[in-house]
């Protein structure tokens, strides 16, 4: 009771949330199941009504399910997308009550105290919920009671509305599992002959507490309203979007940049309050003719400094077609990353890194930021596998992993055969239509193939590498293959 008003709680259970989410976008008129790998075995994670009618169930091995239902269609489960979908449903449910929380991975709980009359009554409100969710292609079971436990019991074990002040009248005949107990406790209670909630409520409490602990009676008291149980609503995620309406249309680049500066100040204040930084920004410009222009800026590192971000918008804003003028601007951080506060110091390394990030961002605005790449070392003695190229925006410079001994050429290409015999480099070699005289040869450095990798380029076996300095100025990296005699040029030093 709250000031003479009886508390009323709604539980919404989506028994096929994962499969309904997938089938909304791709309807299937056949048995359908989502599979998830558990304990190194593909098992059914969620399934539609047709698959349930065919005798399939959750947790069944997928290979066994295909034997039962030969026309079963399937797709891999995505629990992360299911969680995002449930969060979207939570926001939708706030149309019925402001106090909405998550109930496990497939349910919602709403405190609708004092809100049902807005829909004409409790029954009418539940009918509206079912109608809208059915129209959206979602299966739902709804229960309403004085407590969270009673509403959950009705949603999972028999839909209905428990009358105010008498939850036991409706949940009493429900099975013991309706009290949100674990399977082991339910089995032990059934062996004692306690099969429904009413049986448990009419049994002496002291023996139950000694045998099953306080958790069993706590669940019973929560369902009957003798113990409080809070509903914790999920906080709305912070909004990283700001807008600006202009009294008069603008079209000059300087005016647009001035508007962007005002938006950036407000947006970066929000980012700083959440200790976050923007990795991608989108500027939307609405013209007076209802047309729209967009400028997308992807940053090399998460940032929230307006003075650094503003100049990076200059190139994109300069290419905007303002038409008859722009009357509305909107700036949104479409990709955000944590950016905790750091201690400021006198070192210049941070400033140097900031200038490099700004340079990468400017180049990326021209050629695509994913095309700006850097080399990082890989733990392998094979020259071709000792490095890899990664996007500069998703990595950090690595100086400690590079080894300068023995030296490696800056240019490495596919091995090119050259004439030569014997294990020592020739005094004169012919390469790329050039005749080169060898002035100095340093080596050999023997490199063996990695037997655990299948590499066609290393089928010739061992390689003896030599560093060659020619009288013409070329510095080459040659190798000789003893098992299949031959000479090859593999790289060139700077």
Average pLDDT on 5-29 reads 91
pLDDT at 351: 53
Digit-coded pLDDT (tens) for 299-323: 888 889 999 899 889 989 999 999 9
pLDDT interval class at 401 (50, 70, 90): low
Strand runs (DSSP E) across 127-257, as ranges? 141-145, 160-161, 241-250
What is the average pLDDT score of the chain? 89
The span from the first CA to the last CA of the chain, in angstroms, equals 83
pLDDT-derived band at 417 (thresholds 50, 70, 90) equals: very high
pLDDT (tens digit, 9 = 90+) per residue, 435-488? 999 999 999 999 998 888 877 778 788 999 999 999 999 999 999 999 889 999
Residue 219 is encoded by which pair of tokens?
Answer: 């669940």
User: Out of 139-148, 190-199, 228-237, 275-284, which region has the weakest mean confidence (pLDDT)?
Assistant: 228-237
| Token representation of residue 79 | 């629990």
Write the DSSP string, 85-142. HHHHHHHHHTTT-SEEEE-TTSEEEEE-TTTGGGGTSHHHHHHHHHHHHHHTT---EE
pLDDT of residue 399: 64
55-59, 328-332, 401-405 — most confident range: 328-332
Give strand ranges (E) for 39-88: 41-47, 73-76
Q: What is the mean pLDDT of residues 379-401?
A: 78
| Reported confidence tier of residue 159, pLDDT bands at 50, 70, 90 | confident
- Give me the pLDDT at residue 349, please: 47
Section 352-377 average pLDDT: 79
- State mean pLDDT over 45-64: 92
Return d(Cα 151, Cα 108) in angstroms, integer.
11
- Return left, alpha or beta for 390; rule: phi > 0 is left, psi -120 to 50 is alpha, else beta: beta
Residue 210 belongs to what H/E stretch? helix 205-212
| Contact residues for 306 (Cβ-Cβ < 8 A; gap 6+) | 261, 264, 265, 268
Tokens for 16?
A: 């096929």
Instruction: Using a pLDDT cut of 90, give the percent of the chain over it.
Output: 66
pLDDT band at residue 348, thresholds of 50, 70 and 90?
very low
Rounded Cα gap, residues 455 and 437, in angstroms: 33
Q: Picking from 41-55, 99-113, 360-374, 433-447, which range would have the lowest pLDDT averaged per residue? A: 360-374
Residue 155, pLDDT > 60, answer: yes
pLDDT of residue 2: 46
pLDDT-derived band at 240 (thresholds 50, 70, 90) equals very high
Judge if the upstream peptide bond of residue 444 is cis by omega within 30 degrees of 0. yes
- Contacts of residue 404, defined as CB under 8 A and 6 or more positions apart, other chains included, come to none
Nearest to 2 by CA among 157, 228, 266, 178: 228
Average pLDDT value for residue range 125-140:
95
What angle is formed at CA 350 by the lines to CA 344 and CA 351, rounded to 5 degrees?
Answer: 105
Cα 424 from Cα 440, distance rounded (Å)? 12
């Amino acid at each position: 009771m709250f000031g003479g008003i009886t508390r009323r709680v709604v539980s919404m259970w989506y028994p096929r949330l994962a499969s309904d989410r997938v089938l909304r976008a791709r309807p299937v008129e056949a048995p359908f199941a989502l599979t998830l790998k558990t304990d190194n075995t593909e098992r059914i994670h969620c399934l539609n009504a047709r698959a349930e009618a065919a005798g399939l169930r959750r947790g069944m091995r997928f290979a066994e399910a295909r034997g039962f239902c030969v026309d079963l269609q399937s797709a891999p489960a995505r629990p992360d997308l299911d969680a995002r979908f449930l969060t979207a449903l939570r926001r939708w449910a706030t149309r019925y009550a402001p106090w909405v929380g998550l109930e496990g991975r497939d349910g919602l709980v709403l405190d609708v105290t004092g809100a049902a009359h807005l829909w004409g009554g409790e029954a009418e409100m539940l009918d509206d919920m079912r109608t809208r969710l059915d129209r959206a292609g979602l299966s739902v079971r709804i229960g309403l009671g004085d407590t969270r436990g009673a509403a959950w019991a009705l949603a999972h074990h028999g839909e209905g509305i428990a009358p105010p002040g008498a939850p036991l009248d409706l949940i009493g005949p429900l099975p013991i599992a309706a009290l949100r107990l674990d399977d082991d406790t339910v089995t032990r209670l059934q062996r004692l002959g306690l099969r429904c909630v009413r049986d448990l409520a009419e049994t002496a409490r002291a023996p139950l507490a000694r045998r099953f602990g306080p958790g069993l009676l706590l669940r019973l008291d929560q369902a009957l309203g003798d113990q409080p149980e809070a509903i914790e609503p999920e906080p709305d995620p912070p909004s990283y979007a700001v807008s600006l309406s202009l009294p008069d249309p603008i079209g000059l680049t300087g005016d647009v940049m001035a508007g962007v500066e005002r938006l950036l100040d407000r947006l970066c204040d929000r980012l700083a309050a959440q200790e976050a930084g923007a990795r991608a920004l989108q500027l939307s410009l609405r013209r007076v003719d209802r047309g729209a222009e967009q400028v997308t800026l992807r940053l090399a590192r998460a940032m929230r400094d307006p003075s650094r971000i503003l100049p990076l918008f200059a190139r994109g804003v300069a290419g905007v077609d303002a038409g008859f003028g722009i009357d509305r601007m909107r700036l949104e951080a479409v990709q955000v990353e944590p950016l905790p506060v750091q201690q400021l110091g006198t070192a210049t390394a941070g400033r140097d890194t900031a200038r490099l990030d700004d340079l990468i961002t400017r180049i990326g605005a021209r050629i695509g930021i994913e095309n700006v790449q850097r080399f990082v070392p890989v733990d392998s003695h094979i020259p071709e596998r000792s490095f890899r190229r990664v996007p500069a925006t998703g990595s950090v410079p690595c100086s400690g992993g590079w080894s300068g001994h023995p030296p490696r050429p800056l240019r490495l290409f596919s091995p090119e055969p050259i004439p030569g015999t014997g294990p020592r480099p020739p005094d004169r070699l012919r390469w790329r239509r050039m005749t080169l005289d060898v002035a100095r040869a340093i080596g050999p450095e023997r490199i063996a193939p990695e037997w655990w990798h299948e590499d066609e380029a290393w089928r010739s076996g061992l390689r003896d590498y030599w560093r060659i300095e020619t009288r013409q100025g070329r510095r080459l990296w040659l190798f000789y293959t003893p098992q299949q005699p031959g000479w090859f040029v593999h790289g060139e030093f700077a």
